[in-house]
Amino acid sequence: MADNGIGYSSLLVGLTDAEVETLLAAAEERSYGDGELIVEQNTPSDCLFILTDGAVQVEYREGARSIPLARLDQSGEFFGEMSLIDILPRSADIRACGPTMVLAFPKQALTTVFTEGPRVQMTLILNISRILSLRLREANARIAELSA
């Protein structure tokens, strides 16, 4: 895969260079400052993100309490993927940890890419499924630790 400025991303595994370029053409570069909210829990899911620089924290809000769930700090990691899987509101807040840059893929732009290249959609959904499965296994292990 050609260098596309985002380093390795498990989201893009199996795509050709041309497919990656088509996908990246649908992206918007966005920057966030330290502590800035990128995704807000319980709002409509409308965008997928790939981290290009910096770090983000995934937080679950319960009343006035915010519970940190995960930290993503590697270029190429992605979040907001559930917006492509279900139509439910966002399940957590995602907050920038220091200056952070992302590629944002609005759902409407992705729909156009998917219509023109169904293989891209199939590949992304398969890659997302793999990562969701891995995250579920990690969550199961954490729950087991907490229950012990």
SS (H, E, C) 83-121: HHCCCCCCCCEEEECCCEEEEEEEHHHHHHHHHHCHHHH
Whether 121 is in a domain gets the answer: yes
| Residue 147 pLDDT exceeds 80 | yes
pLDDT of residue 5: 56
Whether 50 is in a domain gets the answer: yes
Task: Summarize pLDDT for 94-140 with one digit per residue, the tens.
Answer: 999 999 999 999 999 999 999 999 999 999 999 999 999 998 999 89
What is this structure's pTM?
A: 0.88
Whether 4 is in a domain gets the answer: no
Closest among 100, 75, 97, 88 to 12, alpha carbons compared = 75
pLDDT of residue 83: 83
104 vs 64 pLDDT, higher one: 104
Whether 110 is in a domain gets the answer: yes
Calculate the alpha carbon distances from 143 to 45, 62, 117, 140 in Å. Answer: 26, 18, 39, 5
Provide the residue range defining the domain that includes 81: 10-140
Q: How many CA atoms lie within 13 A of 115 on its CB side?
A: 7
Whether 28 is in a domain gets the answer: yes
